[in-house]
Amino acid sequence: MAISLTEAAAAQICRNIDKRGGGLGVRLAVKPSGCSGFMYSMDFVDDLKDGDEVIERDGAKLVIGIESLPFIDGTEVGFEKQGLNQTFVFNNPNAVSTCGCGESFSIDK
């Protein structure tokens, strides 16, 4: 599995965990939804499940469930600030298209 975190994404995950008051890390999942078929979901996680993979960088932990791995293998998770907006961004080589709003994506299966 080749999923990676940028330095900015790792720092933001650490800030979010600190703001929350603790936790193991953040779970990245792919769910059927949105205009293009799939949507990324990020939620705090306190416990690991069987089959979870953990990506660590600079103290940040990104947890990925086995069911999401085929959709995001090779993805680089980043974090960008543009003006007042800030968001996690996903450079996913498996995504063949994204919707206009940028919230969902499709893949070839």
pLDDT in tens, 76-91: 999 999 899 999 999 9
- pLDDT number for residue 34: 63
pLDDT in tens, 56-73: 999 999 999 999 999 999
End-to-end CA distance of the chain: 18
49 or 1, greater pLDDT: 49
Tell me which CATH homologous superfamily contains domain 4-107: HesB-like domain (2.60.300.12)
Question: b/e map of 32-71 (b: 16 or more CB within 10 Å)?
Answer: eebebbbbbeeeebeeeeeebeebebeebbbbbbeebeeb
Secondary structure of residue 73 in the 3-state scheme: coil
pLDDT in tens, 21-43: 999 999 999 998 867 689 999 99
5/10 Cα distance (integer angstroms) = 6
Domain locations in the chain? 4-107
